[in-house]
Amino acid sequence: MRSFKTILVTGGSGFIGSNFIRYLLGREDFQGRVVNLDALTYAGNPENLADIEASLGGSRYFFEKADIRDLAAVQAAFERHKPDAIVHFAAESHVDRSILGPADFVTTNLMGTFNLLEAARAAWKDRSDVLFHHVSTDEVFGSLGEGGSFSEETPYDPRSPYSASKAGSDQLVRAYGHTYGLPATISNCSNNYGPYQFPEKLVPLMILNMLEGKSLPVYGDGKQVRDWIHVEDHNAAVWLVMREGRAGRTYCIGGENEWENVRLLGRLIELVAEEAGLDPEKLRSLVTHVKDRPGHDRRYAIDCSRLKSELGWERAMSFDEGLRSTVRWYLGHRDWCERVRSGEYRSWMDKNYARR
Ligand code: NAD
Ligand code: TYD
């Protein structure tokens, strides 16, 4: 079992990264330091970790504002903090944005990952007591028909600029493992939901639009299927892979929880109606089918038997409990929502809607 003194978390101010840092710093099996390296793009929000900064800033938690596209800045962070592990979350992560503006996806997801690998290779040389964990997505595998699921053996078939850039970054990590012996693990996870998710993604977008009486835009027929997992279950799996996963190996992470988009929206409407005391019929009347996303992947599903059988991972959160607690979190954080939905967010939503 590996143990680490200083973990460099990239993208720690975003949705999954901030949840990961909170998870890690609450665990007994990690007593070291965390360095959060984040450029604070539109998706990064220091508020997500304000409590951690207040309680552990300067002792166990350190923030580095840096862009992974800037090799010198990444190297400087390595020199300052001397991490013995990296967990790499930083990415441009939204498919719709990758369709309207793919350039940042190529530079951050590909070049940024390359820079981190170069910095790690130079700093770690042939050390074997270190780890580069790369966080990736099931979208690298493409799109499924009605049956079957993705596993670690599924050939890559990315179909959006987002998934193509993530696929390229996965392959770079693999290549550094093979060629330079860099101890590296990769995880490919399905769709996450939970607190602090930026409200451009399906679940928080729909919750907040319901609360504001705005239309609920369903792309195309809404029969696309996603496999939903609570962010805490994802992060528990990432930590398990970092501690016990085999170097050079990939692990698929999934919720074993497939939902058609329209069915999921129906369930969210029921939950928001119950939790916010709103009329479900009125909420249902907000559902609007809009032009489909270009190249929209039809179905994703993950077979996570390797993670379960090799490392003993099990999902802890039931979907019903997880979705309800997520709705409650957004209801209890209206100020946060208001702040992240101002400025850049508004102009992006206008651009995205204009597409339809
Ligand atoms: P997010 O968009 O919420 O957060 C991304 C974070 O990365 C932000 O804090 C942002 O400021 C930072 N960042 C972006 N570009 C940067 C750059 N050039 N330099 C430094 N920091 C930069 O994303 P998320 O949903 O938390 O996803 C995190 C990771 O997990 C991504 O790699 C994503 O591909 C992967 N993933 C996400 C999901 C999901 O459902 N959200 C599922 C599977 C895998
Ligand atoms: P999203 O949260 O963007 O994740 P991903 O594209 O990575 O799976 O979208 C989840 C699903 O919901 C996807 O099939 C697209 C669909 N969707 C809508 O129908 N309407 C929306 O406004 C959004 C953001 C997504």
- Classify residue 252: in a domain, yes or no: yes
Query: Which atom of ligand 2 is found nearest the CA of 220?
Result: 19
* Catalytic-labelled residue, pool 38, 64, 84, 138: 138
Mean pLDDT over 25-40 rounds to 97
Mutate to test the pocket of ligand 2, among 93, 135, 226 (most ligand atoms within 8 A of CB): 226
Quick one: pLDDT at residue 344?
Answer: 79
- Classify residue 22: in a domain, yes or no: yes
What is the chain's mean pLDDT, rounded?
Answer: 96
Is ligand 1 within 6 A of the CB of residue 38?
yes
| 176 annotated active-site | no
Quick one: pLDDT at residue 355?
Answer: 66
Residue 353 has pLDDT above 80, yes or no: no
Domain boundaries, position 127: 6-193+230-256
Whole-angstrom distance, CA of residue 42 vs CA of residue 47: 13
Q: Ligand 2 centroid to 202 CA: how many Å? A: 5
Q: What is the CATH number of the domain that holds 93?
A: 3.40.50.720
Query: Which atom of ligand 2 is found nearest the CA of 191?
Result: 8
Whole-angstrom distance, CA of residue 51 vs CA of residue 57: 9
Residue 57 has pLDDT above 80, yes or no: yes
Residue 329: closest CA among 337, 320, 338: 337
Q: Which residue has the higher pLDDT, 266 or 348?
A: 266
Residue 246: closest CA among 303, 304, 185, 172: 185
Q: Ligand 1 centroid to 13 CA: how many Å? A: 9
- Classify residue 326: in a domain, yes or no: no
| 138 annotated active-site | yes
Quick one: pLDDT at residue 356?
Answer: 64
Closest C-alpha to ligand 2, atom 9: 202
pLDDT digits (tens, 9 = 90+) for 308-336: 999 999 999 999 999 999 999 999 999 99
Classified as helix, coil or strand, 35 is strand
pLDDT digits (tens, 9 = 90+) for 274-296: 999 999 999 999 999 999 999 99
Classified as helix, coil or strand, 137 is strand
Q: Ligand 2 centroid to 12 CA: how many Å? A: 23
- Classify residue 287: in a domain, yes or no: no
pLDDT digits (tens, 9 = 90+) for 99-141: 999 999 999 999 999 999 999 999 999 999 999 999 999 999 9
| 233 annotated active-site | no
Ligand nearest to the CA of 159: 2
Per DSSP, the residues of 63-77 read EEE--TT-HHHHHHH
Quick one: pLDDT at residue 197?
Answer: 98
Q: pLDDT over 70 for what percent of the chain?
A: 99
Count CB atoms within 10 A of the CB of residue 263.
13
Whole-angstrom distance, CA of residue 188 vs CA of residue 40: 24
Residue 185: closest CA among 238, 127, 109: 238
- Classify residue 327: in a domain, yes or no: no
What residues line ligand 2, using a CB cutoff of 6 Å?
95, 191, 201-202, 205, 217-219, 224, 226, 261, 293
Mutate to test the pocket of ligand 1, among 93, 134, 172 (most ligand atoms within 8 A of CB): 93
Ligand nearest to the CA of 254: 1
Location of structure tokens 């990939």: 250
pLDDT digits (tens, 9 = 90+) for 239-282: 999 999 999 999 999 999 999 999 999 999 999 999 999 999 99
Residue 354 has pLDDT above 80, yes or no: no
Mean pLDDT over 45-73 rounds to 97
* Catalytic-labelled residue, pool 61, 92, 162, 303: 162
Quick one: pLDDT at residue 313?
Answer: 98
Is ligand 1 within 6 A of the CB of residue 108?
yes
Quick one: pLDDT at residue 351?
Answer: 77
- Classify residue 342: in a domain, yes or no: no
Query: Hey, what are 284's tokens?
Result: 């249902």
Mutate to test the pocket of ligand 2, among 135, 137, 198, 201 (most ligand atoms within 8 A of CB): 201
Quick one: pLDDT at residue 343?
Answer: 75
- Classify residue 289: in a domain, yes or no: no
Mean pLDDT over 210-220 rounds to 96
Q: Which residue has the higher pLDDT, 249 or 340?
A: 249
Contact between 44 and 124 under an 8 Å Cβ cutoff? The reply is no
Whole-angstrom distance, CA of residue 225 vs CA of residue 132: 31
Classified as helix, coil or strand, 128 is coil
Closest C-alpha to ligand 1, atom 37: 137
Residue 49 has pLDDT above 70, yes or no: yes
Closest C-alpha to ligand 2, atom 14: 224
- Classify residue 30: in a domain, yes or no: yes
Mean pLDDT over 216-231 rounds to 98
Closest C-alpha to ligand 2, atom 4: 201
The total number of structural domains in the chain stands at 1
> Residue 272 phi/psi, 5° resolution?
-65, -40
